[in-house]
Amino acid sequence: MRPRYFTKRYEAPERVASAARHHTWLAQHARPLQLPALTVIGPTSLTYEWVDGRPARPEDLPALAALLGDAHGAAWTTDLRPSSLNTPHRFRDGIAFGDYIGPRQTALRNRLEQGYLPDRAALHAMLTLLERTAEGPTAFYKDSNPRNFLITEAGDVYTVDTDDLTLAPMGYDLAKLIATLALTHGHLPAPAIDSALHAYNEAAERHDPRLATTDRQRLDDFLSLHAVLTAPYAGRNGYRYSWPPRPRTQGSA
């Protein structure tokens, strides 16, 4: 059988270089993630090996949570330990990928302008929540949604669409996966979320006991942020359901 490939096109060479750099960084520092091989870097495109697989489903959550915990632990051990969540992370060539706070402050302010937050008090509450979560060991965020994992018939998991990375606290990307699985497939029972969180912490802790920092309250804080940040995508890209937790407002518990 002849090899198959997938070519992704970009508007500018800078986007090509950034996506290729992020793929290389993940392959080096987040080795538990299995990435499609990057075979050709063109002026405005990247070509990867083709992977036959299905998107993630709710029953995959425990295994994917463990995979993320393992990958985040590996990245912290090999490169992110000295990083600050408030400062972009620089590669050896001086190029950086984004910090945790800055891009999300901008996105939350945009959600107010777009009508996804009711008023400035709600925006202030979300910005305060964001700042409160900016603590603890540093992980990376790669937008873990169901479509960004391909699971083959043999059970292998490939991580795709790794163009954009930012820094994030441990557990933040797990919360994105939980939220988007619920947006795609409907309600996730609390025991399933608790089991995923346990699997994530257990996998991260194998790298260093200090990495098991995400409890259920902290996960719920991340989920509240994702409820606002993902609001514009409801009804698009397979997101057919609403995410249950309501955005927190000033004075709420």
Tell me: the pLDDT tens digits for 46-93? 999 999 999 999 999 999 999 999 999 999 999 999 999 999 988 776
Kindly list the domain boundaries of the chain, sorted by start residue. 52-233
Is the pLDDT reported for residue 3 higher than 80?
A: no
Q: What is the pLDDT of residue 237?
A: 81
- CATH homologous superfamily of 52-233 equals Aminoglycoside phosphotransferase (APH), C-terminal lobe (3.90.1200.10)
pLDDT, tens digit, 9 for 90 and up, residues 112-124: 999 999 999 999 9
Cβ-contact 35, 158 below 8 angstroms = yes
Sheet of strand 54-55: strand arrangement = 54-55, 149-151, 157-159
Q: 252: buried, middle or exposed (CB in 10 Å: 19+, 13-18, 0-12)?
A: exposed
pTM: 0.92
Counting Cα atoms < 13 Å in the Cβ hemisphere of 79 gives 18
Is the pLDDT reported for residue 249 higher than 70?
A: no
Cβ-contact 127, 105 below 8 angstroms = yes
pLDDT band of residue 248 (cuts 50, 70, 90) is very low
**Mean pLDDT value across residues 22-26:** 94
pLDDT, tens digit, 9 for 90 and up, residues 95-113: 778 999 999 999 999 999 9
**Mean pLDDT value across residues 142-167:** 95
pLDDT, tens digit, 9 for 90 and up, residues 172-217: 999 999 999 999 999 999 999 999 999 999 999 999 999 999 999 9
Q: What is the pLDDT of residue 244?
A: 58
Give the Cβ contact number of residue 226 at 10 Å. 22
Cα gap 143→125, rounded to integer Å? 23
Q: What is the pLDDT of residue 93?
A: 65
Q: What is the pLDDT of residue 92?
A: 72
Q: What is the pLDDT of residue 115?
A: 96
pLDDT, tens digit, 9 for 90 and up, residues 229-245: 999 998 888 899 987 54
- What is the percentage of the chain residues whose pLDDT exceeds 70? 94
